[in-house]
Amino acid sequence: MSKLEEIKTSEVSLDGLGVDISSNGDAGESRTDIRSEELAINFGPQHPSAHGVFRAIFHVDGEVVTKIEPKIGYLHRCFEKIAENRTYTQFIPYTDRMDYVSSMLNNWAYVLTVEKLAGIEVPERAEYIRVIVGELQRIASHLVFLTTAGVETGAVTPYMYYFDEREQILNLFEGVCGARLTYNYMRIGGVSADLPDGWLEDTKVFLKRLAKTMDETDKLLLGNYIFKKRMIGMVPFTAEDALKWGLTGPSLRAAGVPYDIRKADPYSVYPRIDFDVCTRFNCDNYDRASIRSDEIRQSMRIIEQAIEQIPDGPVKAEGIPKVFKPAAGEAYGHVEASRGDLGFYIVSDGTTKPYRVKIQGPSFGNLQALPAMAEGSYFGDVILAFGTLDTVFGEVDR
């Protein structure tokens, strides 16, 4: 037994030190007096960083959060039940309101599943349009993410730079469908309208502009010394844990798992397009933030190729009535939404309305990992971890 172990294991003896333990009662009492208790803080649902209406009870010990109890349901709007009372086409606008930061991709996931259920072929031009607007939507959503990541670390200036770019995307979307937030652009069997004249050229011009801004803002925010010091290595998550907790999308790829539905279960025309699945290493706050910047660049690559490849032709499959009856059966379809794996499971009983629609939202899966991920971190880091998981509450509660 080494000397150190001996000291550790042997009982402390006070013999011969001239200390009378029995008279030391006062000191013992005062020690229990100053013992501090954990503070339970109610976070949200109205809080600047609640990203909608997230509510949680944070148990904090000084600045360290020891326990997180998420309370969700403040934005629950019964979408799955509503779907059972609407025709297949009527439900498309509701999907807009789920993840309202990336409506296009929600549209897409839903119509893709209905097309699978009814066996509808989508014209090629429509598929390319979907890819272009889908990737633009991903960029817009990631820009909002980078904005909030900046604001949560106190950098409020990059906000405007990112939002200026997002504004351009919204202008483009306004051109294709007239709406700026909830688009309702996709239809079962295609899209609602063809692209306006000159729209693809405008998009190319925008991409050039965006590339410049991204280089600039990467220096301003992601390359900033304080930002890096603040984020790198904080609230990490291992790849095993990430898979175990069901993380998807950029948060999972930040842990180094190259899982992307566009590659893993290809849909639409993605197999014809050359792009990389971005991955990072530790799934810490910085990785989760900077992977969005990488993905924006990949999305730009995808859009450029899609603009090159897009053929002429119809944008909607022929002969699909507004109210139609798919044969009884079931289908599951999923897309890589900006927050991860967005899946729809639809059961048809052969009538005009679905028998059951089950939605699997990536935000919900990502959010449930928050307590496992962030307990034991500083309060400020927990907020950042929650922010970098990029949850949208329209999708968590649906």
The least CB distance from residue 228 to another protein, in Å, is 10
Decide whether 29 or 225 has the Cβ nearer to another protein.
225
Decide whether 134 or 387 has the Cβ nearer to another protein.
387
Q: Which stretch binds another protein (CB under 8 A): 15-23, 128-136, 225-233, 343-351?
A: 225-233
Decide whether 293 or 305 has the Cβ nearer to another protein.
293
Query: Helix H segments across 178-313?
Result: 199-217, 225-231, 239-244, 250-253, 261-264, 285-309
The secondary structure of residue 270, as a DSSP letter, is: G
Give me the 151-180 binding string for another protein, x by CB under 8 A, dash otherwise: xxxxxxx-xxx--x----------------
Decide whether 110 or 161 has the Cβ nearer to another protein.
161
The least CB distance from residue 191 to another protein, in Å, is 33
Q: Do 29 and 10 contact (CB within 8 A), yes or no? A: no
The least CB distance from residue 219 to another protein, in Å, is 12
* CA dist 30 → 33, 34, 62, 245 (Å): 5, 6, 20, 44
Amino acid at 127: E
**Residues facing residue 241 across a β-bridge:** none
Under the criterion CB under 8 A, does residue 72 sit at the interface with another protein?
no
The least CB distance from residue 247 to another protein, in Å, is 23
Q: Which two tokens stand for residue 41?
A: 């803080």
For 13-36, the DSSP string reads --TTTT--GGGGHHHHHHHHHH--
The least CB distance from residue 106 to another protein, in Å, is 27
* CA dist 385 → 100, 129, 223, 244, 271 (Å): 21, 34, 19, 18, 33
Decide whether 122 or 367 has the Cβ nearer to another protein.
367
The least CB distance from residue 161 to another protein, in Å, is 7
Under the criterion CB under 8 A, does residue 115 sit at the interface with another protein?
no
Q: Do 365 and 246 contact (CB within 8 A), yes or no? A: yes
The C-alpha atoms of residue 110 and residue 189 are separated, in whole angstroms, by 11
Count of H-run helices and E-run strands, the chain: 17, 8
The least CB distance from residue 171 to another protein, in Å, is 16
- Would the CA dihedral through 49, 54, 57, 58 be positive or negative? negative
Q: Which of residues 346-385 bind another protein (CB under 8 A)?
A: 378-381, 383-384
Give me the 292-331 binding string for another protein, x by CB under 8 A, dash otherwise: ----------------------------------------
* CA dist 161 → 215, 217, 290, 308 (Å): 12, 7, 16, 28
Under the criterion CB under 8 A, does residue 286 sit at the interface with another protein?
no
Q: Which of residues 25-64 bind another protein (CB under 8 A)?
A: 39, 41-42, 47-49, 60, 63
Q: Note the residues at the interface with another protein (CB under 8 A).
A: 39, 41-42, 47-49, 60, 63, 150-157, 159-161, 164, 220-221, 224, 226-227, 229-230, 378-381, 383-384, 387
